[in-house]
A = this chain, B = another copy of it.
Amino acid sequence: MTYCVGVLLDTGMVFLSDSRTNAGVDQVNIFRKATVFERAGERVLVLQVAGNLSVAQSVISLLHDAIVAKEGAHLFNCHNMYEAACLVGAAVRAVQERDGEALKNFGVEFNPALILGGQIGSEPPRLFNVYAAGNFIEATRDTTYFQIGESKYGKPIIDRVVRRSTSIGEAVKCLLVSMDSTMRSNLSVGPPLDLIIVRRDELRVARHASIESENAYFRSITSGWSEALRHAFVQLPDHDWLGGR
């Protein structure tokens, strides 16, 4: 399993992904789920992929190869993020055409889910959620984030905290809390965490950090949040459901 989340803010974008991949509980490995395509000063794109690892890696390889081949449209010559999302969707479809039938014969679902965010030139930063069919939706002011993979445990806190106007620091904090809730509930989501921060109009990655479970700040967030939740819970009003019995 995987948990990735990408957020579009007024001041930039934040991406957080786990890196645990498992084929059964006895084959657990570390694979990064976020890839950066950057031409500093001109464009920066971040792609997170959840689902079958072979599919995810093939999609990334095809996108890379197209850049290297310098033929036709690719992520380094497309004119805007919409075109980039179309290219990612096309790569997903290419892998589906090649591997889909064979996977199906082995009972393996073709289920990649992708988040693509970035900024190209003078266009504002944009964030997309690309589906297994290669179609995609874009974040709006009302829905400013996307999750892929094991999304439910960590969704409530994002819904309550993150808005387009949220600062980058607050968003990072919120995504770490969301990831912590997910990791506590699903063993197949695990560290190290990949944190990528892009500031608006910088057209490069501002920070790419690998956060291990012993990272001091992450620990302060997880233990602080546990304590804060218990404290918040105790403060909630009581009710006498049993009439004084």
Contacts and interface: CB of A to CB of B under 8 A. Distances in A.
B153 A181 contact: no
Contact of A177 (B172, B236, B238): B236
Per assembly, the copies of the chain total 2
A51 B236 CA distance: 32
Contact of A229 (B157, B169, B226): B157
Interface residues of A, number: 44
Given A155-B185, A199-B245, A206-B242, 13 more contacts: A152-B152, A153-B153, A161-B233, A173-B236, A173-B239, A177-B233, A207-B241, A217-B239, A224-B236, A225-B232, A228-B235, A229-B232, A231-B232
A242 to B, nearest CB: 6
8 contacts: A152-B153, A155-B185, A156-B185, A157-B229, A160-B226, A160-B230, A160-B233, A161-B229
B153 A156 contact: yes
A15 B82 CA distance: 49
A238 B242 CA distance: 43
What is the interface of chain A mostly: helix, strand, loop, or mixed?
Answer: helix
Nearest to A197: B241
Interface string A165-180: 0001100111001000
A15 to B, nearest CB: 12
A241 B172 contact: yes
Given A206-B242, A233-B173, A152 B228 contact: no
